[in-house]
């Protein structure tokens, strides 16, 4: 029984060792090859014509929600100097077609679509965010595995590893916030579209839709800039300190670059 446990423990240690070697191989390839390539790729994307800031006003689309003709009921108006003045608001029959069994209203214009121009950019940006989170996580695991056991003294190289880990964690956190920002855009836009549907004569709501579409375009461009910059900074930081990161206790003279 004890011998079987020893064999299983040995097999498990071997599997963990292979896992660490695989992580190290992938991480070094990411730092040396993938990070700089993605930096150039994202920079090229940023310079495409569709991503230039001068085209921000082209990102807006016409909201397909009709404006019904103003309708004033005789009972809802007061007369002042022979001029009809609107009184209390009343719900008009036929303003919306209710669907039996639900509280949903169907609109004559049908589906109110997303902004297809913004959606096209989001569909390109989101995979880049998820990819960065995955790759940076791999590099973070590699650096974590390189941290030596805790000892007294000669910890200068370890502090460099910890600084690198801090930078990697910050990049992961920012990438997660980018995804949250995109989700909030759809939520905010949807709420205002519902306001337009409810109050179709209020032009400010329609204008607000244009404003948040323009803002989202600029935010997406900024996200791409940040992704590009993160790849560049991580590549530069890790390569400049690669010897201290891989062998932290071999030197205690030179500082972090």
In this model, does residue 202 exceed pLDDT 60? Answer: yes
Instruction: Map out the domains of the chain as residue ranges.
Output: 2-67+112-246
Tell me: the pLDDT tens digits for 121-147? Answer: 999 999 999 999 999 999 999 999 998
Tell me the torsion sign for CA atoms 130, 133, 136, 137: negative
Cα distance between residue 114 and residue 179, in whole Å: 18
Q: Mean pLDDT over residues 164-188, rounded?
A: 96
Question: pLDDT-derived band of residue 89, with 50, 70 and 90 as boundaries?
Answer: very low
Q: What backbone torsions phi and psi does residue 19 show, to the nearest 5 degrees?
A: -60, -45
In SS3 terms, 44-112 reads as HHHCCHHHCHHHHHHHCCCCCCCCCCCCCCHHHEEEECCEEEECCCCCCCCCCEECCCCCCEECCCCCC
Looking at domain 2-67+112-246, its CATH superfamily turns out to be Proteasome activator pa28, C-terminal domain (1.20.120.180)
Q: Which residues of 69-102 are buried (b: 16+ CB within 10 A; e: fewer)?
A: eeeeeeeeeeeeeeeeeeeeeeeeeeeeeeeeee
Residue pointed to by tokens 């085209």: 55
- pLDDT averaged over the chain? 84
How many Cα atoms occupy the beta-carbon half-sphere of 85 within 13 Å? 5
Stretch (H or E) spanning 41: helix 35-46
- Supply the pTM of this predicted model: 0.79
pLDDT of residue 210: 94
In this model, does residue 82 exceed pLDDT 70? Answer: no
Tell me: the pLDDT tens digits for 224-253? Answer: 999 999 999 999 999 999 999 998 876 444
Nearby residues of 228 by Cβ (< 8 Å), 6 or more positions away? 38, 39, 42, 43, 46
pLDDT of residue 211: 95
Token reading at 158? 């370890």
């Amino acid at each position: 029984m004890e011998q079987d446990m020893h064999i299983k423990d040995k097999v498990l240690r071997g599997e963990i060792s292979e896992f660490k070697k695989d992580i190290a191989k992938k991480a070094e390839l990411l730092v040396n090859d993938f990070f700089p390539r993605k930096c150039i790729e994202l920079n090229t994307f940023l310079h495409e014509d569709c991503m230039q800031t001068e085209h921000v006003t082209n990102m807006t689309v016409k909201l397909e929600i009709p404006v019904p003709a103003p309708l004033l009921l005789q009972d809802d108006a007061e007369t002042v100097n022979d001029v009809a003045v609107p009184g209390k608001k009343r719900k008009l029959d036929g303003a919306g077609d209710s669907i039996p069994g639900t509280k949903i209203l169907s609109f004559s214009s049908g589906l109110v679509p997303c902004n297809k121009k913004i959606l096209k950019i989001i569909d390109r940006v989101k995979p880049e965010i998820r990819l960065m989170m995955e790759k940076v996580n791999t590099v973070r695991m590699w650096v974590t595995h390189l941290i030596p056991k805790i000892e007294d003294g000669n910890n200068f190289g370890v502090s460099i590893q910890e600084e690198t880990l801090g930078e990697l964690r910050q990049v992961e956190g920012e990438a997660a916030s980018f995804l949250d920002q995109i989700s909030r855009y759809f939520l905010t836009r949807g709420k205002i579209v519902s306001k337009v549907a409810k109050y179709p004569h209020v032009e400010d709501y329609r204008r607000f839709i244009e404003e948040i579409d323009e803002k989202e375009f600029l935010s997406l461009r900024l996200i791409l800039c940040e992704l590009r910059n993160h790849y560049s900074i991580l590549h530069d930081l890790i390569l400049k300190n690669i010897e201290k990161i891989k062998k932290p206790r071999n030197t205690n003279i030179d500082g972090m670059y």
